[in-house]
């Protein structure tokens, strides 16, 4: 006889031998789902039950998750994954106390899961804790349709079964964690390989198009993109522009939208650029943008755009599109953002490299230009003189220099107009930038446009390479156009456009360039008269004549002549390694009395010749002051007016040159004047060539 409620010994032996079989069977399952599917079949011979369930602890909070439920049904499947608290539930009590919770008579109003049990007709319920050496990981739950269906022996057997199930579940969970970690490591390794591929492409490319061609295969690996594009922000135009495109081997240029520029407000790229965070776009969202025709024509159903962010700000966006719906997900943002970060670094390097190349080219051009300027600039360092007329000019220079206004300098040839222009530049905020000069009268008419605005290779016969024009060279600096009255009428509209719009095109190019060059112009001609004669545009004249400065001729600042003579004499003496200590008073008086039709340039040339031929410490002016050649003294006669003296001087030069004005032996060369200046003086003095004798 056995005690009441105890099983016969033979039955006990059978049960415990069955437990060994259950332990062996459950231990063979490495997958948690496989273990649960086989659970009923293994324990059904040991324990009577109508249903069996497994709840496991949620590692994130104090709750339980229903992971297994038998019998399987639509309702049971719906219950899988249900989360419920430990407190106030039968399974929670078993987990919290580590003891079996036996409910011989289930009532509908009892703790969870009483309502579910009564729905399935369960009268007896038992929650057995799943205990492992590391603690309680959940509960194994049994139910029977009979009330008070289990004995103490049954509960003891359930405890042993729960220990076996707990060990198997913990083993499966451990393996699942290991596999999850291995999967994560493999994914991380793949991502690192992909990022390494991108990095290798980044460090070897300094051109954005070549960079994108190298990066595109990696992009196709990290997401299911059919199209990818690189869109960069143009801060000057305040628009986004597509710089490169990839279409998985297809003809990408034919697949990108025709619109080169993209609005910051009405394009997917613009929204992402402004928000600075990645975004997904469905087909319905895509077709609401102006580029909708492109999306529809190419069957695009989803897109993803990621900002190209750097420490200095967002450079643009990395855009991807796919024909499949939901091809992109927020889970991909991390990897795509890392790829975009690498691309952003490369783009920033490419832009910096391009900028450095431009600056190097600019510096190279400026160096060559300045080397040429060294040989052609005035041979004195500053403006010499203290006359009231000169002080008036200097006050005007100080007034206009800090502004950005255009300045028109007028005055006779040789009066120092370029020196005034350099003084304006030196006193302006552009003093550290380039001062670029061009004498418009010294350039053939057919080449003047190229000199001013540059040309492309092959723009005209002889254009064997690209040339940078003076306005492009003087960007952020000052451009000085001397003899601006000589600019042809057909070229004047283009000059007016530069002054008003600050933009132009090189010869042979349709690309519009911008320049921030300040213009200072000079002329010895009467532009107002030229406007009246329709030889100069009226609108250009008014645009140039914003701030006119008239440089006085040397005869109107005679008190400055002694200072200029001493300055030039010492300058040339040092250069020729001579010592000039004295300038005779009579020579100085003659120099002051002379009318100087060639102004400072004529005086400078005369003093240079005097220094060359002076053999001692005294400047021997009368010995060489031949005007014209062959005379030994300056033509100063008692009672003679300056104008009469100048007229006689010019007539003598013309007669000595047989009335030839230009050329190496002409009167202009003898007087040290330009041909146009001599012609101007002749008109002013009423000098005409006499008719030949008959």
Residues 6-41: pLDDT tens digits?
A: 444 345 556 666 666 666 666 666 666 777 777 777
On whether the CB atoms of residues 40 and 52 are closer than 8 A, the answer is yes
In degrees, rounded to 5, the angle at the alpha carbon of residue 605 between the alpha carbons of residues 600 and 606 is 95
**Dihedral (CA of 408, 410, 414, 417) sign:** negative
| 295-349: pLDDT as tens digits | 777 788 888 888 988 888 888 888 888 888 888 888 778 777 887 777 787 777 7
Calpha distance 186→192 (Å, rounded): 10
* Nearest partner of 414 among 621, 655, 681, judged by Cα: 681
Classify residue 692 by its DSSP letter: P
> What are 626-650's pLDDT values in tens digits?
444 333 334 444 445 556 767 887 8
For residues 681 and 566, which has the higher predicted lDDT (pLDDT)?
Answer: 566
Answer whether residue 594 shows pLDDT above 90.
no
468 band by pLDDT with thresholds 50, 70 and 90: confident
102-111, 126-135, 228-237, 509-518: which range is least confident on average?
228-237
Is the predicted pLDDT of residue 372 greater than 70, yes or no? no
Give the position of tokens 């399974």.
91
Pair 565, 591: CB distance under 8 Å? yes
How far apart, in whole angstroms, are the C-alpha atoms of residue 623 and residue 631? 9
**Mean pLDDT, rounded, of the chain:** 79
Looking at residue 522, its pLDDT comes to: 95
What pLDDT does 678 receive? 83
Average pLDDT over residues 535-555: 93
What is the C-alpha to C-alpha distance for residues 298 and 303, in angstroms, rounded to an integer?
Answer: 13
Q: What is the pLDDT of residue 256?
A: 47
Taken in order of first residue, the domains within the chain and their CATH numbers are: 9-178 (3.30.450.40), 205-352 (3.30.450.40), 382-552 (3.40.50.300), 558-685 (1.10.8.60)
Q: What is the average pLDDT across 405-426?
A: 92
291 within 8 A of 259, measured Cβ to Cβ: yes
**pLDDT grade, residue 464 (50/70/90)?**
confident
SS3 content of the chain, % helix, strand, coil (to 5): 50, 15, 35
103 versus 169: which is more confidently predicted?
103
**What global pTM score does this model have?**
0.45
Report yes or no: 566 and 520 within 8 Å, Cβ to Cβ. Answer: no
Please indicate whether residue 594 or residue 2 has the higher confidence score (pLDDT).
594
- Tell me the mean pLDDT in the region 416-431: 91
The confidence score (pLDDT) of residue 198 equals 64
- Position 73 scores a pLDDT of 61
pLDDT digits (tens, 9 = 90+) for 554-563: 999 999 999 8
- Give percent above pLDDT 90 in the chain: 22
What pLDDT is attached to residue 454? 87
> What's the CA gap between 466 and 471, in Å, rounded?
15
Between 589 and 294, the higher pLDDT residue: 589
Extended strands (E) in 104-237: 124-132, 135-144, 227-234
Within 10 Å of residue 541's Cβ, how many Cβ atoms?
A: 18
pLDDT for residue 384 is more than 90: no
To 5 degrees, how large is the angle CA 366–CA 368–CA 371? 105
Evaluate if residue 197 carries a pLDDT over 90: no
Asked if 680 and 674 touch (Cβ cutoff 8 Å), the reply is: no
Provide the 3-class DSSP secondary structure of residue 397: helix
More confident residue, 685 or 397: 397
- Which residues lie below 8 Å from residue 150, measured CB to CB, with a gap of 6+? 48, 102, 104, 124, 126, 142, 144, 158
Q: Retrieve residue 62's tokens.
A: 């104090």
pLDDT band with cut points at 50, 70 and 90 for residue 237: confident
The predicted-structure confidence for 238-291, as pLDDT tens digits, reads as follows 788 776 666 655 544 444 444 456 777 778 888 899 888 898 898 888 888 877
d(CA 264, CA 287): 17
pLDDT higher than threshold 70 for residue 499: yes
Q: State how far the alpha carbon of 332 is from the alpha carbons of 221, 224, 301, in Å.
A: 12, 11, 17
CA 465 to the chain's CA centroid:
28
Order the strands of the 518-523 sheet from edge to edge: 435-439, 478-482, 518-523, 407-410, 547-550
Specify the pLDDT at position 111: 92
């Amino acid at each position: 006889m056995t005690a009441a409620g105890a099983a016969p010994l033979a039955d006990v032996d059978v049960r415990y031998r069955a437990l060994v079989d259950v332990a062996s069977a459950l231990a063979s399952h490495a997958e948690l789902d496989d273990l649960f599917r086989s659970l009923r079949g293994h324990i059904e011979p040991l324990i009577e039950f109508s249903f069996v369930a497994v709840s496991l602890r949620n590692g994130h909070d104090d709750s339980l998750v229903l992971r297994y439920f038998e019998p399987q049904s639509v309702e049971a499947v719906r219950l899988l994954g249900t989360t419920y608290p430990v407190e106030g539930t039968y399974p929670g009590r078993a987990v919290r106390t580590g003891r079996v919770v036996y409910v011989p008579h289930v009532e509908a109003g009892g703790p969870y899961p009483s309502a579910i049990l009564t729905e399935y007709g369960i009268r007896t319920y038992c929650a057995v804790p799943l205990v492992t050496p590391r603690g309680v990981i959940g509960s194994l739950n049994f139910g029977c349709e009979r009330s008070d269906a289990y004995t103490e022996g049954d509960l003891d057997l359930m405890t042993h079964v729960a220990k076996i199930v707990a060990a198997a579940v913990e083993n499966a969970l451990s393996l699942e964690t290991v596999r999850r970690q291995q999967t994560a490591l493999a994914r991380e390794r793949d991502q690192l390989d992909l990022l390494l591929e991108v990095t290798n492409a980044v460090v070897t490319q300094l051109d954005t198009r070549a960079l994108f061609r190298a990066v595109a295969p990696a992009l196709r690996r990290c997401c299911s993109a059919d199209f990818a594009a690189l869109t960069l922000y143009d801060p000057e135009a305040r628009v986004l522009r597509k710089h490169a495109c990839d279409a998985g081997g297809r003809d990408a240029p034919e697949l990108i939208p025709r619109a080169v520029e993209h609005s910051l407000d009405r394009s997917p790229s613009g929204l992402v650029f402004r928000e600075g965070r990645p975004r997904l776009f469905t087909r319905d969202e895509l077709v609401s943008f102006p580029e909708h025709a492109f999306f529809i024509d190419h069957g695009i159903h989803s897109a993803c755009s990621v900002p190209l962010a750097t420490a200095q700000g967002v450079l643009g966006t990395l855009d991807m599109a796919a024909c499949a719906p939901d091809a992109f997900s927020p889970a991909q943002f991390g990897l795509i953002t890392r790829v975009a970060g690498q691309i952003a670094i490369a783009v920033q390097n490419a832009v910096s490299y391009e900028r450095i190349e431009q600056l190097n080219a600019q510096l190279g051009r400026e160096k060559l230009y300045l080397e040429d300027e060294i040989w052609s600039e005035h041979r004195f360092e500053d403006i010499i003189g203290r006359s009231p007329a000169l002080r008036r000019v200097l006050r005007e220079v100080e007034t206009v220099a800090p502004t950005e206004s255009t300045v028109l300098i007028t005055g006779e040839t040789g009066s120092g107009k370029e020196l005034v222009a350099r003084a304006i530049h030196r006193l302006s905020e552009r003093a550290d930038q380039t001062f670029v000069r061009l004498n418009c009268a010294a350039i053939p008419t057919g080449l003047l446009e190229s000199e001013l605005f540059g040309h492309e290779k092959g723009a005209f016969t002889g254009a064997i390479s690209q040339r940078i024009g003076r306005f492009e060279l003087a960007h952020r600096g000052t451009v000085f156009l001397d003899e601006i009255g000589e600019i042809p009428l057909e070229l004047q509209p283009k000059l007016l456009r530069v002054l008003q719009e600050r933009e132009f095109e090189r010869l042979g190019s349709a690309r519009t360039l911008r320049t921030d060059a300040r213009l200072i112009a000079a002329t010895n001609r009467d532009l107002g008269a030229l406007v009246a004669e329709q030889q100069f545009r009226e609108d250009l004249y008014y645009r140039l004549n914003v701030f006119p400065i008239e440089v006085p001729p040397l005869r109107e600042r005679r008190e400055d002549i002694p200072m200029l003579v001493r300055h030039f004499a010492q300058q040339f003496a040092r250069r020729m390694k001579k010592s000039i200590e004295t300038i005779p008073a009579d020579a100085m008086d003659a120099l002051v009395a002379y009318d100087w039709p060639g102004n400072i340039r004529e005086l400078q040339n005369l003093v240079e010749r005097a220094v060359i031929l002076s053999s001692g410490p005294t400047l021997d002016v009368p010995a060489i002051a031949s005007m014209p050649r062959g005379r030994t003294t300056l033509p100063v006669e008692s009672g003679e007016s300056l104008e009469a003296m100048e007229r006689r001087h010019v007539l003598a030069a013309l007669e000595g040159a047989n009335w030839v004005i230009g050329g190496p032996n002409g009167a202009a060369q003898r007087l040290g004047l330009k041909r146009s200046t001599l012609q101007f003086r002749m008109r002013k003095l009423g000098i005409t060539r006499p008719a030949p004798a008959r």
